[in-house]
Structure 1
Amino acid sequence: MTKKMILTAGPSITQKELDYVADAAQNGWNEKWNEYIKKFESAFAAYVGCKYALATSSCTGAMHLALLALGIHEEDEVIVPDLAWVATASAVKYVGAKPVLVDVLPDTWCIDPQCIKEAITEKTRAIMPVHLYGHPCEMDEIRTLAQEHGLLVIEDAAQAIGSLYKDKRPGALSDVSCFSFQGAKIMVTGEGGMLVTDDVKIFEKAKFYNDHGRDPKGSFWIQEVGFKYKMSNIQAALGLAQLERLDDLVQKKKQVYQWYHERLSTIPGIGLNVQRPYTCNNYWMSCLVLEGNFYVTRDELMKQLKEEYGIDSRTFYYPVSEFAPFEKSFITPVSHQLSSRGINLPSGYAITEENVDYIVKSIRNILKV
């Protein structure tokens, strides 16, 4: 076993981040209380290609605000992929609506447009595609379906910063989109998120609900029950520094994936992240799927990697339909198979080619390939 555990994720923090955060901590008060928040929101909107951005305390909070701003409520249905982190479906529950869980594509692991089409009813109000592990969803097909049926589209772009779909970035492909800067993401603010949109009405409504439903004129008069998913100025300082280094952060993710691909892609029965020709995958998480039959199961492989070789890993997400608070809307065989066979490999910024060599040799030893 190596002396130090090789972790699944981890950010890159340089002197730039330390300087910005120190400045916010020392000077970001009183009339400068939101100086970095404004800079971060403006720079992020420009990067994604949207007019408006609202910094939040999490992507989950941003999705809740997005649903509120769009007027999604009880009796409404929102179509969500079954294979995703629970936050997407949970946000739908927050507003009293029903998340309708559908299957994903076997190669990109993103929501299947055909399954969306089959799930649309007279109660459907919105579609929430999730760009899983960084690969963009089939947004042209999704937007066409939305237009045909008068539906809204809310991107869960939590994992997709730095990816591309044709000539646009995730986040600029829908009515409103939400990003995450949680500590395992490509760029981090500790915890944090961002809501982006081109629609000023959605933006203003989200701001309203994010300020406890307070009178926008600035008094302490409350007009509706609201919430508080605000990002601090200090977090925004960290986010701005990370955003200014984003090209480097994304490039390292691509490099790590390339190292894995060179060493694992020739092994029969092992599947890896794909990149469809009209997309650019940020490879947030380099992933392995045991598509064939091996001497050990996925869980046994992970257990041995950790206990015998000092290598951390994560399972794919569980299908949301397996959780007690959520209904099984449809049979989702692809989601279930991927969930039981998929692994997130160590993909943090600090991973070296030497680490990848060691990880792949360890996988080969365990699988006997």
Structure 2
Amino acid sequence: MAERLKLVDLRRQYGPLREEILAALDTVLTEMNLNLGPNTRGFEQEWAEFCGTKHAKGVDNGTDALQLAMYAYGITAGDEVITPVNTFVAVVEAILAVGATPVFVDINPDTYNMDIEQTRAAITDRTRMIVPVHLYGMAADMDPILALAKPKGIIVLEDCSQAQGAQYKGKRVGGIGDAAAFSLYYTKNLGGFGEAGIFTTNDDAIALKVDMMRQHGANPATRYKHEILGFNSRLDEMQAAILRIKFRHLEEYNAKRRHWAARYTELLGDAVVTPKRFPGYEEVNYVYVIRTPNRHEVKAKLLEADIETGIHYPIPLHLLPVTEHLGYKAGQFPISEQYAQQILSLPLFPELTDGEVERVADAVKSAVRDLAPAR
């Protein structure tokens, strides 16, 4: 029997990097410079240069990056923040945590990112921020979003948690809007060995606020003089050491993800709905998401074949219990609701082999054939 194929197999990535990572961690623990130490500062500089921004501030996780950004921009009760309904719950947690109101929009049926016309219709005189999510590793369509936001003074905060290194019309995500939040969770294209996140911006004042808030509200130049409400959300020095090593391989990893995604698309043909590619976008394929009307049955058959899969995401944000008080109802966002019943993420990570990709594709096509109605 074939070995179980994981959705993400991080052991394969760790192996070649093991000695370098252990040496870096030993240096951190020997020097014991643990509070925003040289690896954190070095990674911040390297990440800012990569994204084309003046500032990058390492924080504890991607959710904190979103929340601190909202606090820094003064988002508060009475403000509305527009975001797509098909994404992870973290963006809603951040909006609700600062006291603002999430305003949801449906997704474009081809890109799976936020629908531009619905975004336009959702803007009111209370809209303070738009949070486009670069979902599944593909950038949102940023030009029309910025065109909607800028004349009205609306802040655009990119959620880049699934798109480290993705490009939109030659620009890397994280340096297109007013600011950006990245999760560096361990399953991401660039991830630590646990929790990590980073915030980017070109705005000096906003960068200073985030820097202060991640350190209990104290100005870095005047420790223990706490000037604003703050939190404890610094990037851990050991995580930063790991991230710097893995970061040197990010573009190689992303290229391999694109290769395997293209191979899946070639092999699967029209057996299922596969992701589309668009000119001007360089995606990084955080996940490879197919659609099939028999999602649960296909998932079960793949598991029988020792192939793990995922669902990103099974419940649109407006139908979660945590957002029930907002008053949204089933049927308001039909594309996201339909897709939530159909989407299935196949194994995808840089270290896959062609034989494994063929195995997955064959298993998907076999499952679809078995489930097809008799004629």
| Deviation at residue 134 of structure 1 after TM alignment | 0.6
- Aligned counterpart, 1:313: 309
The 2-side partners of 1:189 and 1:350 are apart by 17
The 2-side partners of 1:287 and 1:78 are apart by 27
Per-residue deviation, residues 53-72 of structure 1 (Å, max 9, x unmatched)? 00111110100110011110
Classify 1:146/1:329 alpha carbon distance in 2 versus 1 (closer, same or farther; 3 Å). Answer: farther
- Aligned counterpart, 1:81: 84
Given that 2:310 and 2:344 are in contact with CA atoms closer than 8 Å, whether structure 1 keeps it comes out as: yes
Query: Does residue 169 of structure 1 match 2:166?
Result: no
| Deviation at residue 146 of structure 1 after TM alignment | 0.1
The two structures have a TM-score, normalised by structure 1, of 0.93
| Deviation at residue 27 of structure 1 after TM alignment | 2.5
Query: 2:321 aligns to what SS in structure 1?
Result: coil
| Deviation at residue 24 of structure 1 after TM alignment | 1.9
| Deviation at residue 214 of structure 1 after TM alignment | 2.2
The 1-side partners of 2:208 and 2:328 are apart by 33
The 1-side partners of 2:36 and 2:71 are apart by 27
Per-residue deviation, residues 320-347 of structure 1 (Å, max 9, x unmatched)? 0011221255811111111110011100
Given that 1:312 and 1:346 are in contact with CA atoms closer than 8 Å, whether structure 2 keeps it comes out as: yes
Query: Does residue 200 of structure 1 match 2:189?
Result: no
Given that 2:268 and 2:365 are in contact with CA atoms closer than 8 Å, whether structure 1 keeps it comes out as: no
Query: Does residue 234 of structure 1 match 2:233?
Result: no
Classify 1:38/1:171 alpha carbon distance in 2 versus 1 (closer, same or farther; 3 Å). Answer: same
The 2-side partners of 1:16 and 1:260 are apart by 32
- Aligned counterpart, 1:8: 7
- Aligned counterpart, 2:95: 92
| Deviation at residue 137 of structure 1 after TM alignment | 0.4
| Deviation at residue 232 of structure 1 after TM alignment | 1.1
Bigger Cα displacement from structure 2, 168-177 vs 326-335: 326-335
Q: What letter corresponds to residue 290 of structure 2 in structure 1?
A: L
Given that 1:127 and 1:151 are in contact with CA atoms closer than 8 Å, whether structure 2 keeps it comes out as: yes
Give aligned-pair identity as a percent: 28
The 2-side partners of 1:329 and 1:142 are apart by 23
Match of 2:295 among 286, 289, 298: 298
The two structures have a TM-score, normalised by structure 2, of 0.92
RMSD: 1.7
Q: What letter corresponds to residue 219 of structure 1 in structure 2?
A: R
Bigger Cα displacement from structure 2, 108-117 vs 32-41: 32-41
Query: 1:89 aligns to what SS in structure 2?
Result: helix
Matches for 1:1-369 after TM superposition, within 5 Å: 2=2, 4-11=3-10, 12-13=13-14, 14=17, 15-29=19-33, 34-190=37-193, 191-267=195-271, 270-290=272-292, 297-306=294-303, 308-317=304-313, 318-326=315-323, 327-329=326-328, 331-368=332-369
Relative contact order higher in (CA < 8 Å, ≥ 6 apart): 1
Given that 1:252 and 1:349 are in contact with CA atoms closer than 8 Å, whether structure 2 keeps it comes out as: yes
**Number of positions where the alignment pairs a residue of Structure 1 with one of Structure 2:** 359
The 2-side partners of 1:366 and 1:271 are apart by 14
| Deviation at residue 273 of structure 1 after TM alignment | 1.8
